Structure 1
Amino acid sequence: MTTSPKTIQIFLPSGDAHGIRIAEITTRIVQVIEVPRSLLSDFLKMEQSSQVGLYLLIGEDSEEGEQQVYVGQTGDLRSRLATHNQKKDFWERALVLISKTNSLTQTHALFLEWHSLQQIRKAGRFNDENGNSGSRPHTPAPLEAECLEIFETGSILVSSLGFPLFDSVVSSKPEEKEPDGLFYIQATKQGVTGEGVYTSEGFVVIAGSIANSEHSQSIGDANRRWRQRLIDSGAMAKNAEGQLTFQKDHLFRTPSGAAMALLGRRANGWTEWKDRQGRTLHQVKREPGS
């Protein structure tokens, strides 16, 4: 994905910031339309719902709180989304990708559906409801290049609307996983060895980091339940040596949340996380001149 500056326009058809939102990069033909489920009937009256499109149904697992997505494509958005409204319970918002020039074909849509699923699974932020994603559809090379350009635009718009489905929790910037971009936590007595990255979204604990297998008494009931959910969801699991280990890169909203997950106690992540020189995250990121 390119990192050049872009201008994104978000149009509110009803004037309601919480209603239907239409996002586009002003120099490109792709639009992504965010549709709250409660306003689906309004979208189905819009001209855009008559097109070939890719759609993503977004929701949350009520028990685990995990974000979920279903990816589909259709030449008849009105009929397909109406059917999903009747038969699928989990979703609360639909994201619909179309062309402003009505130029998407079924071949485009099939490739975009397949490619979107691969990228969602690679990013690992959302659990998909699709099951088997099927085989890669046959797409001539020129058309595949066009599809990838469409996907690039769509993924930027989807993220800009607040749904980073396709984005790794650690940026693709090479310096973030280089030693100079890493921060560390160690607690030898508890066997804790963690490393992580401070990003624009929060703090990411890197896969393979080893956490305290016990909770301290001081952590509190709410935090103990929160940490247990990380274990129950599989974010942390026992390895062959019995160590509680992060199974993949995991994004926390704050450095302190990341530190508490590893240490099993209340923690100030701004002072617990340190770089290779022993400087705290606070010193590196918040002190003047850092």
Structure 2
Amino acid sequence: MSKPRSQTIRIFLPSGNPRGIRKVERTSNSNIRLIEIPRTDLHLFYEMKEAGDMGIYFLVGGNQLYIGQTMDLSTRIKQHDKTKAFWQRAFIVVLNNDFRTLDHLYCLEKTAIEHAQAAGRFSLENGTAGNTHRHLHDSIRSDCENIFDEIDTLLAVLNQDFFNEKQKSIVEVEALLEATAQFEIHPAQENSSKDNINEYSIPNTWTGRTITVFCRSRDKILRGKGLFNVETEQILLLEGTMIYRKISETLSSGWREIYQQWLASNFLADSKDPDYYVLQSAQLCTSPSMAAALVLGNNRNGWQYWRTERGLTLDEVYRKK
């Protein structure tokens, strides 16, 4: 996800009721319009021009969440109103004219499902993980990355947090610290033991203030270990890091190329886990998200997935200040 930037958000109340339908969008360079609809106000939404548009949507009730996409929002929401009892509010994302294609819909739906699953804040009611059979052009993926960032921002304006991992309790953090004890190392520039540095094949060019960070997969098993450079925001993946074998087609072409280079250069070896390779030497990643994607095999917000020794995310320590 891109770094926060200043922007102006407009909230429009079609009925004048602040607890009713709300339309939210950026005042400039907006790719989407987000509409919040209480279930009791669906009849009002059906009268709006957006009701016949294509888009993706989120149905929310308690700790349950359903994510979908459709070419006709009115028809699909009416179906869910008859068949799904759990939800109380719908959040509908209408794309602007430049992005009204099936490819954009499928990519956004799948991206949203993956991020919601990774965050684990809600019980996801989807029966599938989204469309996995479309071969998307890089420009479509780039569009969807920007649109997804905008969706996340507009949802946050409405106090909806579907995609960020829930803050852990003290007990959970202590458990994480105990589990990561076996991975404890010191940043190269702060360690005078040459043998320890060589053990992890840390390059001499790695300089700057760093901290040790860890990355877990969805099954909560620690997979990645690295050094985060506070000044450059790079991550040096350390020897012994686990790398998922099945790289997603939605991963950027540049990152997939790096993965293939690692394979060709014998940087990756078989491990005891058949789903993962093990990294044979330290490798530099230009961002936390690149490092998380290469470890876990799919696009991830690395600022949420990499954690410090105290169990805090990089986002909590270095961006939410």
Residues 103-152 of structure 1 deviation map (CA, whole Å, 9 limit, x = unaligned) = 42121111111110000011111111002314533211111110111111
Q: Deviations over 1:169-200 (max 9, x none)?
A: 35xxxxxx9xxxxxx97xxxxxxxx475xxxx
Partners in 2 of 1:135 and 1:48 — Cα distance? 24
Can you list the C-alpha shifts for 1:226-262, whole angstroms capped at 9, x where unaligned? xxxxxxxxxxxxxxxxxxxxx97xxxxxxxxxxxxxx
Classify 1:209/1:50 alpha carbon distance in 2 versus 1 (closer, same or farther; 3 Å).
Answer: farther
Question: Corresponding residue for 2:44?
Answer: 42
Give the distance between the partners of 1:126 and 1:11, measured in 2 at CA: 27
Match of 2:94 in 1: 98
For 1:51 and 1:167, the matched residues in 2 are separated by: 28
Q: Compute the displacement of 1:22 (Å).
A: 0.5
Equivalent residues of 1:57, 1:92 under 8 A apart: yes
User: In 2, Cα distance between the equivalents of 1:140 and 1:108?
Assistant: 10
Structure 1 residue 101: deviation in Å? Answer: 3.9
Unpaired stretches in structure 1, ≥5 consecutive residues: 61-66, 171-176, 178-183, 186-193, 197-204, 211-246, 249-275, 277-290
Say how many residue pairs are matched.
179
- Equivalent residue number for residue 55 of structure 2: 53
Q: Structure 2 counterpart of 1:50, which letter?
A: G
Cα offset, 1:206, TM superposition? 7.2
Q: Give the TM-score, by structure 1 length.
A: 0.56
Note if contact 1:12-1:21 (Cα within 8 Å) is conserved in structure 2: yes
The 1-side partners of 2:76 and 2:129 are apart by 18
1:5 equivalent in alignment to 2:2: no
Residue equivalent to 2:154: 157
Which runs of structure 2 are paired with 1:12-31 in the superposition (5 Å)? 12-27=13-28, 28-31=30-33
- Structure 1 residues 37 and 4, CA gap change in structure 2 (3 angstroms): same
CA distance in 2, matches of 1:11, 1:134: 31
Q: How does 1:230-249 map to 2 (within 5 A)?
A: none
C-alpha displacement at 1:99, in angstroms?
2.3
- CA-CA distance at 1:161 after TM superposition: 0.9
Question: Could you list the runs of 4 or more consecutive aligned residues of structure 1 that deviate by over 2 angstroms after TM superposition?
Answer: 99-103, 134-138, 205-210
Give the 3-state SS of the residue equivalent to 2:88 in structure 1.
strand
CA contact (8 A) 1:52 1:106 kept: no
Distance 1:206 1:46, change over 3 A: farther
Superposition TM-score, scaled by structure 2 size: 0.51
Q: Percent identity?
A: 35
1:100–1:15 Cα change, 3 Å: farther
The answer (yes or no) to whether the contact 1:52–1:102 under 8 Å persists in 2 is no
Letter in 2 for 1:42: L
The 5 A counterparts of 1:248-259 are none
Match of 2:140 in 1: 143
**Structure 1: distance between partners of 2:175 and 2:115:** 19
Structure 2, unaligned stretches of length 5 or more?
A: 180-218, 221-308, 310-321
Counterpart contact for 1:22–1:34, Cα < 8 Å: yes
Judged with a 3 Å threshold, the aligned counterparts in structure 2 of structure 1 residues 152 and 83 are, in CA distance, closer, same or farther, namely: same
Q: In the alignment, residue 5 of structure 1 is paired with which amino acid?
A: S
CA distance in 1, matches of 2:38, 2:70: 19
* Contact 1:68/1:129, CA 8 A, preserved across alignment: yes
Distance 1:112 1:37 in 2: 23
